[in-house]
Amino acid sequence: MKQSAKYLVIPLILLLFFMMSACKKKTEVATLKIPYSCELTIKSDDEDSDTYKATLSRKENSWLVTYTEPESISGMMITFSNDSYKIKLNDLEFDAKRDELPDSAISTMIISALDKSTLSTNVEYDTNDGNTIASGTVGEKDYELVFKDNIPQSLKISGYTVNFSNFKS
């Protein structure tokens, strides 16, 4: 009798173990309700670099990034709409196809990381201290985007740290 109980208990323990691991809470995918806007603080890992500040607005099929600091580029606007972009600073304007803007441009990396993290299936998600962490690649650059309650908090990508503030949807 003891021998048959042993053969019954071991499968029950294994079944219980697999059921408990299947019930483990999955990390939720981050979502952003469009339209939204926020402020960005962009800092390079290089100690001697400037800190950049900008506002970012996302609408259904377009993005607008307006730099406010440093003073040398204050007022520069980068508009992404469908498959084209426009850069405007004072009286200077430049239009081109979106894929002609280098993948290494910080504005492109920020926008691509936000889009990929909330719209793509090629992203890994993890949870840490109540935050959702999305990680993936933009072009050939790895990124890590931290969300709290579906609001972006920070982005680390290609030697830059971007902090998001004043998020409004």
Tell whether 149 is covered by a domain.
yes
Tell me the pLDDT tens digit for each residue of 4-40.
Answer: 545 544 544 444 444 444 444 455 788 888 999 999 9
Q: Which residues contact 142 (CB under 8 A, 6 or more apart)?
A: 135, 136, 157
Tell whether 5 is covered by a domain.
no
Give alpha helix (H) positions in 86-152: 106-119
Tell whether 113 is covered by a domain.
yes
The domain of 94 spans 36-168
Measured distance CA(27)–CA(134) in Å, rounded: 10
Tell whether 160 is covered by a domain.
yes
Question: Is 87 or 119 the better-scoring residue by pLDDT?
Answer: 87
Tell whether 125 is covered by a domain.
yes
Question: Could you give the number of structural domains in the chain?
Answer: 1
Tell whether 14 is covered by a domain.
no
Tell whether 25 is covered by a domain.
no
Check the CA dihedral 99-143-166-51 and report its sign: negative
Residue 146: CB atoms within 10 Å: 21
Tell me the pLDDT tens digit for each residue of 121-159.
Answer: 789 999 999 999 999 998 889 999 999 999 999 999 999
Q: Can you give the CATH number for the domain in which 50 is found?
A: 2.50.20.10
Tell whether 6 is covered by a domain.
no
- What is the pLDDT confidence band of residue 3, given thresholds at 50, 70 and 90? low
Strand, coil or helix: 114: helix
